[in-house]
């Protein structure tokens, strides 16, 4: 039985420049589902994780618009709403694809909580922008009224709220995910979990409590893969493979590496923090946690990456590429 955790990027749900309508998202998800079904037909049982950037931002905006009529929900609840929304879209598209192909599979979404530390330095230094843009006056009032940390985006000329982005320490629901994906030769479930980086929670005594934060989706996916003892972690994004010297005249494809080399290149600053950086960090953590291989490729090249060597492949040091 071949298994993998596959982290799909936001472009699999909403393309750059598209309006965030239900129709646009369902159309994109249907295309993504075809690629996933192709992979499953090749013999893979998979766990799918996904982003939620535009969707959770829209939910927060609806909170703001309706705040005089309805009490707004906290970020943890908004994260859960986005997991349900995107999970439903993926479930419907995947299950429809399975029925059309006569496959004995069904997609299952799991609302997933991610454990973070209340002592994480990120809580004292919020950096993750979320939600809409505000004027300087609005930003000042929101800081005064709600205690929001607001930063100026000089490119857009507006102010945005920033929230902490703490490191994931574990997945509350990792055991049911593991049981479903490793259910045996004829198991039917295709699991969708850790959507949007999961719902960040801290332990207070003997209880979990949601917090106002956002966990990086790729780091959360890597933690899920480690927690369920998966050996293969795939990051499906909007490029066919990783590049070195990205954006420079010396830019070149980077197709194969190992943990030692990728750590050196990461520390040298080869991978920008706003784009490929978090994905490479997620790859490093997965391999350091005992994983065998990380593949970074485009969503369209999933089958080619796992069957024909397309994409960038990064191996644990003791594994020969």
Whether 244 and 306 share a structural domain: yes
Q: State the catalytic residue, choosing from 9, 11, 35, 263.
A: 11
- 128 in catalytic set: yes
Whether 205 and 243 share a structural domain: no
Banded pLDDT at 63 (limits 50, 70, 90) = confident
pLDDT digits (tens, 9 = 90+) for 120-164: 999 999 988 887 788 999 999 989 988 889 999 887 778 988 889
CATH of the domain at 178: 3.40.1160.10
Q: State the catalytic residue, choosing from 105, 263, 279, 301.
A: 279
Please give the pLDDT value at position 16. 76
Residue 37 pLDDT greater than 70, yes or no: yes
Domain count, the chain: 3
CA–CA–CA angle 71, 74, 79 (5° rounding): 125
93 neighbors 176 (Cβ within 8 angstroms): no
The domain in which residue 14 lies consists of 1-117+169-230
Banded pLDDT at 53 (limits 50, 70, 90) = confident
3-class DSSP state for residue 72?
coil
Share of the chain above pLDDT 70, in %: 99
Q: State the catalytic residue, choosing from 28, 35, 128, 263.
A: 128
What is the Rg, in whole angstroms, of the alpha carbon atoms belonging to the chain?
20
Whether 130 and 277 share a structural domain: no
Residue 320 pLDDT greater than 70, yes or no: no
Q: State the catalytic residue, choosing from 196, 197, 217, 291.
A: 217
Whether 1 and 58 share a structural domain: yes
Mean per-residue pLDDT for 5-15?
88
pLDDT digits (tens, 9 = 90+) for 169-199: 999 999 999 999 998 777 899 999 999 999 9
3-class DSSP state for residue 133?
strand
Whether 223 and 87 share a structural domain: yes
198 neighbors 220 (Cβ within 8 angstroms): yes
Whether 111 and 46 share a structural domain: yes
- 67 in catalytic set: no
Please give the pLDDT value at position 220. 97
pLDDT digits (tens, 9 = 90+) for 265-307: 999 999 988 789 999 999 999 999 999 999 999 988 999 999 8
Nearest to 262 by CA among 321, 194, 197: 321
Please give the pLDDT value at position 186. 78
Candidate from 8-12, 82-86, 163-167, 279-283 with smallest mean pLDDT:
8-12
Give CA–CA dist 226/291, Å, rounded.
7
What does DSSP say about strands 113-115 and 207-210: parallel, antiparallel, or unpaired?
Answer: unpaired
Whether 47 and 157 share a structural domain: no
This prediction has a pTM of 0.91
Domain final residue, candidates 230, 248, 265: 230
Please give the pLDDT value at position 132. 75
Whether 36 and 86 share a structural domain: yes
What does DSSP say about strands 170-171 and 113-115: parallel, antiparallel, or unpaired?
Answer: antiparallel
Average of per-residue pLDDT values in the chain? 92
Residue 245 pLDDT greater than 90, yes or no: yes
185 neighbors 101 (Cβ within 8 angstroms): no
Q: State the catalytic residue, choosing from 10, 51, 53, 311.
A: 10
Higher-pLDDT residue of 92 and 146 is 92
Domain final residue, candidates 230, 253, 283: 230
Whether 158 and 13 share a structural domain: no
pLDDT digits (tens, 9 = 90+) for 207-240: 999 999 999 999 999 999 999 999 999 999 989 9
Whether 75 and 154 share a structural domain: no
Whether 8 and 146 share a structural domain: no
- 10 in catalytic set: yes
Whether 75 and 187 share a structural domain: yes
Banded pLDDT at 321 (limits 50, 70, 90) = low
């Amino acid at each position: 039985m071949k298994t993998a955790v596959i982290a799909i990027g936001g472009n699999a749900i909403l393309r750059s420049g598209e309006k965030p309508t239900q129709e646009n998202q369902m159309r994109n998800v249907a295309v993504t589902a075809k690629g996933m079904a192709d992979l499953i037909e090749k013999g893979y049982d998979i766990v799918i994780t996904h982003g939620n950037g535009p969707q959770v931002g829209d939910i927060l905006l609806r909170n703001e618009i309706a705040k005089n009529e309805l009490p707004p929900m906290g970020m943890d609840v908004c994260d859960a709403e986005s997991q349900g929304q995107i999970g439903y879209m993926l479930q419907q598209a995947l299950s429809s694809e399975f029925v059309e192909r006569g496959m004995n599979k069904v997609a299952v979404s799991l609302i997933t909580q991610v454990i973070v530390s209340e002592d994480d330095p990120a809580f004292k230094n919020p950096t993750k922008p979320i939600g809409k843009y505000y004027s300087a006056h609005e930003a000042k009032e929101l800081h005064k009224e709600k205690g929001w940390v607001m930063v100026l985006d000089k490119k857009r000329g507006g102010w945005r709220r920033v929230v902490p982005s703490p490191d994931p320490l574990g997945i509350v629901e990792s055991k049911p995910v593991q049981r479903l994906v490793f259910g045996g030769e004829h198991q039917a479930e295709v699991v969708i979990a850790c959507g949007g980086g999961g719902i960040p929670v801290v332990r207070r005594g003997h209880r979990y409590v949601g917090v106002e934060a956002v966990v990086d989706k790729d780091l959360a996916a890597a933690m899920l893969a480690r927690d369920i003892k998966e050996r293969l972690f795939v990051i499906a994004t909007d490029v066919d493979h990783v590049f070195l010297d990205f954006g420079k005249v010396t830019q070149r494809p980077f197709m194969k590496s190992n943990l030692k080399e990728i750590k050196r290149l990461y520390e040298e600053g080869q991978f920008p923090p706003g784009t490929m950086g978090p994905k490479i960090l997620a790859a490093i953590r997965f391999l350091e946690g005992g994983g065998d291989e990380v593949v970074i490729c485009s969503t369209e090249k999933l089958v080619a990456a796992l069957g024909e060597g397309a994409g960038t492949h990064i191996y644990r040091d003791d594994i020969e590429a």
